[in-house]
Amino acid sequence: MKKLTLTLILASIFSVTFAKKVRFACDMTGQIINTTGMHISGDFQTAAGFGGGDWNSATTSLTQEGSTDIYSIIVDIPAFQKYEYKFVNGDLFYEVEFVPEPSRVGYNFNDNRWIYIDSLANDTTNIGALLFGQNAPAGLTMVRYFVDMAHETPSSNGVHIAGNFQGFDPATTIMYSFGSYNTNGPYIYEIMTYVPQGTYEYKFFNGNNLGAEEIVPAMCSVNSNREIVVSSDTLINLVCFGSCIPCSLGNLEFSNESKVSVYPNPAIDAVNISWNNSSAVHTLVIQDMTGRTVRRYENVAGQTLLIERELLDAGIYFIRLEDAFAETKTAKLIFE
């Protein structure tokens, strides 16, 4: 009997210690509510105590909040885990919302919403009332941040982001890595935030305290921070921790040894790119400072290519020249 009592006490302590209240809410403004009501379906349902297993479209009802268009539920689920879910206008799985691509898990064609529960605090994690089938709550925009930690050893305290959208607190906003499921590499960390339109400064932290922040290079910093102007739902371009470019570009050396000539450089209207190997067909890629590909030229023969500036903004670009034997040459290009 004592053993049974001790087991029940330990089970109770475990559930209290590792459980976290989370509010899921959906804004149905402009939608016609199904007669069977609103539901949520996800991989948290069993842990939250709902019968029928996870991803059951009929067992977890949302309750209308007064006379508003918001339907919600508060559940107790284990912390320090990532959860996936969708809202259901009805109780059949084909009635689930179509989640916009920026809000999806995204890897391995996964089209679910997701959230990482990172705290055991006594408050309730409140995602906000997400508009059905949209990226953010009404009046807010979604910003999804990414950072590549490939050149760092991620802290045991987690990778965080701090900015003026959350009081520049390095301890409150932890980022999550999907690991090997992330097609960009296992060291990519990310987080989604919901903010009014405006200009925001931020930086990444390899840890959760002052002193763990990255040093943002002057080339892409504002007040020693990164900056973004938010006018619509936005996915931030992937950068390496402490860099203006992705880690995949971070070790490139731009010198005459690359055997790629760029002239004139800096350029105004056009630039001539040449190389010393005419025996292979090449692919030439031009990327901006964020690693975004802005031009791609396939099956380039010969030893030279004229690039017209056209709509390219002034700034620094990176040239990657690859031949049929997977040999890569690199160079830097500047448009004034």
Options 2.40.30.10, 2.60.40.3080, 1.10.287.3510, 1.50.40.10; CATH for 252-335 is 2.60.40.3080
* Residue range(s) occupied by CATH 2.60.40.3080 in the chain: 252-335
Identify whether 100 is preceded by a cis peptide bond (ω within 30 of 0). no
- For the domain bounded by 141-249, which CATH number is listed? 2.60.40.10
Give the single-character DSSP code of 231: S
Predicted confidence at residue 186, as pLDDT, reads 83
Predicted confidence at residue 142, as pLDDT, reads 96
Predicted confidence at residue 314, as pLDDT, reads 84
Domain 2-131 bears CATH identifier 2.60.40.10: yes
Is the distance from CB of 304 to CB of 249 less than 8 angstroms? no
Quickly state the pLDDT bin for 11 (edges 50, 70, 90).
very low
Q: Express each pLDDT in 103-137 by its tens digit.
A: 999 888 899 999 999 887 788 999 899 999 999 99
* End-to-end Cα, the chain, rounded Å: 81
Averaged over 259-275, what is the pLDDT? Answer: 84
Is the distance from CB of 164 to CB of 200 less than 8 angstroms? yes
> Token pair 């860099």 is at which residue?
243
* Residue range(s) occupied by CATH 2.60.40.10 in the chain: 2-131, 141-249
Q: Which residue has the higher pLDDT, 266 or 176?
A: 176
Q: Express each pLDDT in 13-28 by its tens digit.
A: 444 446 799 999 999 9
Predicted confidence at residue 82, as pLDDT, reads 96
> Token pair 């992705």 is at which residue?
246
> Token pair 């990226």 is at which residue?
135
Is the distance from CB of 225 to CB of 214 less than 8 angstroms? no
Q: For residue 235, list its beta bridge partners.
A: 144
Quickly state the pLDDT bin for 219 (edges 50, 70, 90).
confident
Predicted confidence at residue 8, as pLDDT, reads 38
Quickly state the pLDDT bin for 249 (edges 50, 70, 90).
low
Question: Cα separation of 219 and 216, whole Å?
Answer: 8
